[in-house]
Amino acid sequence: AQSVSQHNHHVILSEAASLELGCNYSYGGTVNLFWYVQYPGQHLQLLLKYFSGDPLVKGIKGFEAEFIKSKFSFNLRKPSVQWSDTAEYFCAAEGGFKTIFGAGTRLFVKA
């Protein structure tokens, strides 16, 4: 069955700390991978995406993610978080015009 698992439901960090959010997927066939973010009071928006090629992809606001095919993982990273990164982060896998989202990780950054 198709699924996306996010390792942490809640993460609390202090400003300047490094961030890594785990994401594993189970999806038969070709899959495209995404991280979306939802800031408080705003719509879901794309952070970054991976189709093919370089497994290290860079997104907006200093975020990056690494696709490791052998581990079926697509972890999100940021070397130094800011208070404004407080949001909910969703990993998603898309194939066959169907997108499966993970349960989301709520990140709270303390100023």
Which residue, 62, 40, 66, is CA-closest to 53? 66
Told to check if 51 binds another protein by CB under 8 A, we report yes
Largest CA distance in the chain: 43
Question: What six digits make up the tokens of 74?
Answer: 């697509």
Q: Which of 12, 16, 44, 56 binds another protein (CB under 8 A)?
A: 44
Site string for another protein, 71-110 (x = CB under 8 A): -------------------x-x-x-xxxxxxxxx------
Q: Which amino acid is at 95?
A: G
Which residue, 39, 41, 89, is CA-closest to 63? 89
Q: Which CB sits closer to another protein, 32 or 86?
A: 32
CA distance 61 to 85: 9
Stretch binding another protein (CB under 8 A), from 12-20, 38-46, 61-69, 77-85: 38-46
Q: How far is the CB of 97 from another protein (least distance, A)?
A: 4
3-class state of residue 74 by DSSP: strand
User: Would you tell me which residues interact with another protein (CB under 8 A)?
Assistant: 30, 32, 34, 36, 43-46, 49, 51, 90, 92, 94, 96-104
